[in-house]
Structure formats: structure tokens, C-alpha cells
Amino acid sequence: MTDEILMTAEDRMEKALVSLHEVFSTVRTGRANAMVLDRIKVDYYGVPTPINQMAGVKTPDAHMLVIEPWDKGVLRAIEHAILESDLGVTPSNDGSVIRLPFPALTEERRRELVKQCKTYAEEARVAVRNARRDANTALDKAKKNDNLPEDEVKRAEEAVQKLTDKYIADVDAAFKKKEVEVMEI
């Protein structure tokens, strides 16, 4: 019973960490990274489609992405989707490919991105703590309903707290790494 509760809590905490890494991968760092396009969906014949499923995305140098759609008819739709996104980059369309120049980030913009990353990290911490709360609630219910021994519940609560501490530390480490990456010139 307690093992099941612990596994559920750990699974939720792991998902929070994975989600944080996915969000961090979409934060611009001054270098061109095709993952910044992952959240942008293009209306492709009535279906919202990710850019990487309708075009080849290349990185010819550190500050440029080149998007080459397999169907040249969607160039305008891709360009429009990028302009509508919060990417902060103006695409240039030459009729066959779209170029996305990534200018070097200013100090002020870097600080804004770090604040944004801090918010994402805090959301992940909250998700981890919510998993802890739900696990402790489930343990309390199990103690009342299933007559679980109190010492077993106490051990399980300590295990949940250790898991929580581990995942909070992982979130903090991921944030520190991303902060260094963003502030790097």
C-alpha cells in the first residue's frame, strides 16, 4: 500500500522535472536552437502542426535558424505563426526558406529570461510539493481506512520527504544550470 503511494508520488515528481527541462529547452539563450520552435504550431490544412513536422530546421551558424518547408505553400503560414508567437525574432522569407536571425541578447533581456526561468522552476517546485501533499494525504487515509500501523506510515512519510528534497534539489540544479547558460555571453 505505502509502496504504491510512494511510486505515484515519485512518478509525479519526475514528470514535474521532465516538464521543467522541456520548458527550459524552449527558452532562448542567444544561440540558435531548433527547440525554441517546438511550441509554435502552424495551421496546416486546418490542423495545428509543429514546424519540425512540416519542415527541415537547420542551424548554419550559432545565431541563425533556417526553416525549409517540404511544401513551399506553407511558407507564409509558418512565417505568420512565428510572428504571432512570443519568440521575439523576425523571420525573413526568401520564397524557398525562412531565416530566423537570433541577435545577441542584451544584459536586460538576459535578466528577464532568468526571471522567466525562475518562475518555471518555482512552478516545478510547487508541483513537487503538491505530489508530497497528495502522498501524505493518501497515507493518512490509508492509516484510517486500512488500519495501517503508525510506524509504517511514519516511515513512508519520511520517504516521501526524502523524495521531495531530492526533486527540489534537482529543480534547483536545473535552474542554476539554465541561469548560467542564459547569462553566458
Residue 82 binned pLDDT confidence (cut-offs 50, 70, 90): confident
Average pLDDT over residues 85-100: 84
| Least confident window among 43-47, 98-102, 103-107, 114-118 | 103-107
DSSP per residue, 2-66? HHHHHHHHHHHHHHHHHHHHHHHHTS--SS--GGGGTT-EEEETTEEEEGGGTEEEEEEETTEEE
- Cα distances from 106 to residues 29, 43, 102, 111, 140, in angstroms, run 11, 32, 12, 9, 51
Is residue 117 located within the same domain as residue 160? Answer: yes
State percent of the chain over pLDDT 90: 40
Q: What is the value of pTM for the model shown?
A: 0.72
Does the pLDDT of residue 84 top 90, yes or no?
Answer: no
Instruction: Domain count for the chain, please give it.
Output: 2
Structure confidence at residue 185 (pLDDT): 66
Residue 162 binned pLDDT confidence (cut-offs 50, 70, 90): very high
Is residue 84 located within the same domain as residue 142? Answer: no
Last residue of a domain, one of 83, 101, 119: 101
Structure confidence at residue 66 (pLDDT): 92
Does the pLDDT of residue 108 top 80, yes or no?
Answer: yes
Last residue of a domain, one of 67, 101, 135: 101
The two beta strands, 98-101 and 92-93, are antiparallel
Mean pLDDT of all residues belonging to the chain: 88
Does the pLDDT of residue 132 top 80, yes or no?
Answer: yes
Average pLDDT over residues 10-35: 85
Structure confidence at residue 30 (pLDDT): 66
Is residue 83 located within the same domain as residue 119? Answer: no
